[in-house]
Amino acid sequence: MSLLPYGLARPFLFGLDPEAAHELTLDNIARFQHSPLSCLWGGKRTDDPITLAGLQFPNRVGLAAGLDKNARCIDGLAAMGFGFVEVGTVTPKAQPGNPKPRMFRIPERQALINRLGFNNEGL
């Protein structure tokens, strides 16, 4: 995976509120996932196929639900080399999720606490 965009964007993103940084990142992946610029974050997928529950995956590393709650960035996230991308959580009706603030950085642990809830646009 190319770290060039992250290395350039990190100081800017870490200057933003964590949720604003999350949304800005997803907005840009969605905007550019089908453009020539997608090569900036694309990675070489390591193929090491695995079959689980009758489903074949190109490798064992997947992206769990919660990052792309409205399935806007499937192709852009897949281009990063994941063996699978799970989107959502999607609910039948739109809902706002938990009250803000709901994402918190813990810099000394290089961690992020996510208490977004199931905010999504619904089906």
The Cα 52–Cα 54 span in angstroms is 5
The Cα 71–Cα 43 span in angstroms is 20
Average pLDDT in the chain? 90
Q: Is the pLDDT of residue 103 over 80?
A: yes
Q: Is the separation of the CB atoms in 28 and 16 below 8 Å?
A: no
The Cα 5–Cα 92 span in angstroms is 35
What pLDDT, in 10s, does the model give residues 22-62?
Answer: 999 999 999 999 998 777 776 677 789 999 999 999 999 99
Q: Is the separation of the CB atoms in 59 and 50 below 8 Å?
A: yes
Could you tell me the pTM of the whole model? 0.84
